[in-house]
Amino acid sequence: MIMKLGEGIESGLHCTLLLAMVPSDAVLPARALAEFHGVSESYLLKHLQALAASGILDAVPGPKGGYRLAHASQEITVLKVVEAIEGTEPAFRCTEIRQRGPCSGKSSSYRIPCAINQTMLRAEQAWRDSLNKVSIADLVQQISGKVDHKSVQCATQWIGERLRLQTVSKET
C-alpha cells in the first residue's frame, strides 16, 4: 500500500509497552528508551513528546527525569498511542470530485454524503475499533512468558541500572 503508517508508531508502542513493565515509582530517560530499542534518541524524542502531549506518558523534567505511564496500562489502548503519534485525521481524504466536472449541480445538491467517502470512513472506523479493543496491558499479557529467558534477565538488569526512582509520588 502507498498508505503507510509512520515508523513512529512502532517505537512509540514498544516504548509504552516497556514503560508498562517497569515499577510505577520510577522513570526511564529518553536516552535509555532509545538505546534499548536501537533507535536514535532525537528521533524517539519527537514521539515521546507526542505521547506526553496526549497524556499517555508523564514527562518528568530535570536531571532525575524521564518518562513513565500517566495511566494504568489497562487504560491505555493501542489506538490512543497510534492517534497520539499519527493524529486523528482520516487516511482517506475526500476531495469531493463528485462536485467537479461539466455536470456538477448546485452545492445544495450534495447534502447527502458521498457514498464512496462513507464506505472509506466506515472501514477506517473498523480499523480504529480493532485497535481500541487492545490495551497496553493486553500486550504485556500477550508477550508474558514468551520472551527468551536470557533476554528478560538482560533487560531486567539493563533497565534496572537506568531507572530513576522518584521521591515525589506520581500525581493522580
Task: Tell me which residues touch its own copies (CB under 8 A).
Answer: 1-7, 9-11, 13-14, 17, 35-39, 78, 86-95, 97-98, 100-106, 109, 112, 115-116, 118-120, 122-131, 134, 139, 142-143, 146-148, 150-151, 154-155, 158
Task: Give the shortest CB-22-to-its own copies separation in angstroms.
Answer: 14
Q: How far is the CB of 42 from its own copies (least distance, A)?
A: 16
DSSP string, the chain: ------THHHHHHHHHHHHTTS-TTEEB-HHHHHHHHT--HHHHHHHHHHHHHTTSEEEE-STT-EEEESS-GGG-BHHHHHHHHH-SS-SS----GGG-STT---GGGG-SPPHHHHHHHHHHHHHHHHHHT-BHHHHHHHHTTTS-HHHHHHHHHHHHHH-EE-SSPPP-
| In the complex, minimum distance from the CB of residue 157 to its own copies, in angstroms, rounded to a whole number | 9
Is the Cβ of residue 28 or residue 166 nearer to its own copies in the bound state? 28
